[in-house]
Chains A and B, each alone.
Chain A
């Protein structure tokens, strides 16, 4: 072999570089998936592009890429501000590249520009495809259709221990003004990156194994202007959330788009704090319902007292007009009704376990006040009735005369020779009509 034809490695690589620079155009727009993104200490960013063959689940192309420091600052902020999505591995991008070959470092793509709309379109398309499949499966609204329990206290939280959101959630929940109690159990999961799907599914499985111990599931992460939520956009995760037997509340802190799990979840809020507030509001509503129930009962009893007192009033009026009635008996009856109501109320008040149960005490106090007023009225009426009772009148020297068992009010109704009975305060006198 002719030694003159033998090249050094450097010479060969130089040849490749020269050939490439001669034959390749200046710039190309390419579409590819980022499989690695490594900003380094110098401020440059090293990436790796891949193209996947979905049918064979294999790679069909792969290339290194470099974004030099000056471009990296601009591209990163432009991309993230436009899409709300972090520039991270796993997303698809459309970038403007030049092809470079270096004798030592080999083949790589130098990135000069990016088209964020492509990534947004790709994420939206992926989301649409997942949702279409979920809908075709007939499970799209399954979680939404779960009834929200009356009391939601035992909360399974899926979050990352390092995420600020979990602390915010717990603080908001525990500092509620109504003294509501919540039981929070934490399930660790990755809230960004490739581990999201696997770790959230594992957490859901664990919760499902103990689903009787929980009322609801909350998936939360602290937000920010940009985040990498691509890990949430997967069919297995969306399907698991949609079919989960407990209602799921998401607060994964994304300002722009809902992820697929936001869409299939029972309730979607923007932030962990909002998720906590939702639970507080729900429980506060229960307290209000209890207050309403107590109020309704109170009003009904006051109404009942009024009815009884009016009944007595009628009796008293009739009695005052001189109609002899068994007023004492009626009085006793109404009085015993009032006493029963009173003792019912007392039972409610004195049984109070908690010294300062403001809600109940306030209502019961008001009810008792109403009762006392009504009873006072009854006593006044009773006094009036008593003042005019036949017994009182007789003791003043009046008498009642009966003919044929009926009180005589009309002299013409009494026939001569008929027998009369005259009642005075201490007895009866029997007599005969001599003259009319």
Chain B
């Protein structure tokens, strides 16, 4: 799934999440689309929260190597 792209930045994920929120708010989605968007929103929220509150060893390692 596109939203699981590990290379996605926080800003990109947030942008996509807000697009979903707008679409959901505008009531333009049928129920099937809504279900898909819900799953994507959930993944994006988890992804963003993860970035904000879970330590990434990768980032740590890179900075320590400076």
Contact = CB atoms under 8 A, between A and B. Distances in A.
A296 B53 contact: no
B35 A344 contact: yes
B47 to A, nearest CB: 10
A153 B31 contact: no
Contacts of B10: 150-151
A312 B60 CA distance: 55
A304 B34 contact: yes
B55 to A, nearest CB: 5
Contact of B38 (A178, A180, A287, A345): A345
Nearest to B48: A290
A150 B10 CA distance: 8
B14 to A, nearest CB: 6
Nearest to B55: A181
A374 to B, nearest CB: 14
Contacts of B60: 183
Contact of A180 (B14, B21, B27, B52): B52
B53 A348 contact: no
Interface stretch (A51-59, A62-70, A335-343, A417-425): A335-343
Contact of A185 (B21, B25, B63): B63
Given A185-B63, A185-B66, A347-B38, A293 B11 contact: no
Given A293-B21, A300-B25, A154 B59 contact: yes
Contact of B35 (A213, A287, A343): A343
B8 interface: no
B52 A340 contact: no
Contacts, number: 104
A185 B31 CA distance: 47
A301 interface: yes
Contacts of A225: none
Nearest to B39: A347
Contacts of B25: 296, 300
Interface residues of B, number: 35
A183 B63 contact: yes
A149 B11 contact: yes
B52 A296 contact: no
Interface string B8-39: 00110010011011001101000110110011
A213 B41 contact: no
B54 to A, nearest CB: 6
Nearest to A209: B66
B46 A353 contact: yes
A395 interface: no
A346 B50 CA distance: 20
Interface string A189-208: 00000000000000000000
Interface residues of A, number: 40
Contacts of B34: 301, 304, 340-341, 344
Interface in A348-378: 348, 351-354, 357, 359-360
A283 B11 contact: no
Contacts of B41: 293-294, 297, 348
A104 B35 CA distance: 94
B45 A293 contact: yes
B24 A213 contact: no
Contacts of B35: 340-341, 343-344, 347
A74 interface: no
Given A149-B11, A183-B60, A344-B39, A294 B45 contact: yes
Contact of B63 (A154, A301, A337, A347): A154
Indicate the member of A296, A301, A337 with the most B CB atoms within 10 Å. A296
Given A289-B14, A340-B31, A183 B59 contact: yes
A357 B52 CA distance: 13
Closest 8 CB pairs of A and B: A344-B35, A348-B42, A151-B10, A344-B38, A185-B63, A150-B11, A179-B53, A300-B24
Given A286-B52, A300-B25, A301-B38, 8 more contacts: A151-B11, A185-B66, A283-B52, A286-B14, A289-B14, A294-B45, A351-B39, A353-B50
Interface of B: 10-11, 14, 17-18, 20-21, 24-25, 27, 31-32, 34-35, 38-39, 41-43, 45-46, 48-56, 59-60, 62-63, 66
8 contacts: A149-B11, A151-B14, A154-B59, A185-B63, A210-B66, A213-B62, A296-B25, A304-B31
